[in-house]
Homo-oligomer: A and B are copies of this chain.
Amino acid sequence: MLIECIPNVSEGRRADVVAAIADAIRGVPGIRLLDFSSDASHNRSVFTFAGDRAGVAQAVLAMFERAIPAIDLRAHRGEHPRLGAVDVVPLVPIEGVTMAECVALAKEVGAAIAERFQIPVYLYEEASTNPARKNLEDIRRGEFEGLASKMTTPGWAPDFGPTAPHERAGATVVGARMPLIAYNINLATDRLDVAKKIAAGIRHSGGGFRFVKAAGFKLDDRGIVQVSMNLTNYEKTPIFRVFEVVKHEAARYGVQVLESEIVGLVPSAALHAAAEYYLQIEGFTPDQVLENKLRRS
């Protein structure tokens, strides 16, 4: 079983604090810390680690153990919005684990954080217990500075823990979600309006696909434009369908797709689905993938 956890911590300037948190995660048996990076202007660090259910739960608590004494949000400034010292803890099902199990783990971990550190916890995305508190942006609106007042508003009692913010650490958002795919399609034109129109048409907020966020950009150094996307659920809004629609929309303006690119990581199954679609493979199951078979035997 493999669960990925990508916690965001509100400290991106003091390298010693970030390193100590990384060490705490690394120190948990069975946990692999895949990556961590800090942004000084955001004053924020993102850690990526993976392991099984028990390991991930233990690593999250170990991270809090280090972060909470070290970070005081009352003195924290940075460009990125934040609600807590440990701001958000997303759990992502990777292999041999269902979304339902990740939701259960999110609730378990959320309850443990609240109990051990006396920090209010909100559940978000798939773990959300309230449609108004599904999106991270909605929960985070008002930020740490507005949290005390927000928590007294009807509908904003936390899922776990005290009904007022932790003095230094605010609140934490814990949840489960699908892996994100950062996917860009470059168009063989310098017409920014074409990229912007296509982005507006395919993104959810514009009436497009349910699990697409998109924007149009100019790549000045190459003299071309890009439809830049986040695909937030590749099972329900698959890459191939988005690609085909962008290609089709571009043709409407006499523009061709030059290439696409995947930024960072992509789940193997998202690529398999594209192969299955284009090769018109019938009756295909994940058990037919050699590596899956080898690992599950």
Contact = CB atoms under 8 A, between A and B. Distances in A.
Interface string A257-283: 111111011111001101110111111
Interface string A280-297: 111110001111111001
Copies of this chain per assembly? 2
Contacts of A240: 275, 278-279
A94 interface: yes
Contacts of A50: 294, 297
A289 B271 contact: yes
A238 to B, nearest CB: 11
B291 A94 contact: yes
A240 B277 CA distance: 11
A260 B275 CA distance: 11
Contacts of A276: 271
A94 to B, nearest CB: 7
A95 interface: yes
A94 B289 CA distance: 11
A239 interface: yes
A262 B258 CA distance: 30
Contacts of A36: none
Contacts of A24: none
Instruction: Report the contact-size class of chain A (Cβ under 8 Å from the partner).
Output: 35 or more
Contacts of A283: 261
B274 A290 contact: no
B279 A239 contact: yes
Nearest to A92: B290
A4 interface: yes
B290 A94 contact: yes
Contact of A275 (B275, B289, B292): B275
A293 B34 contact: yes
Given A34-B297, A294-B94, A260 B288 contact: no
A271 B289 CA distance: 9
A32 interface: yes
A185 to B, nearest CB: 8
B288 A265 contact: yes
Interface string A13-33: 000000000000000000011
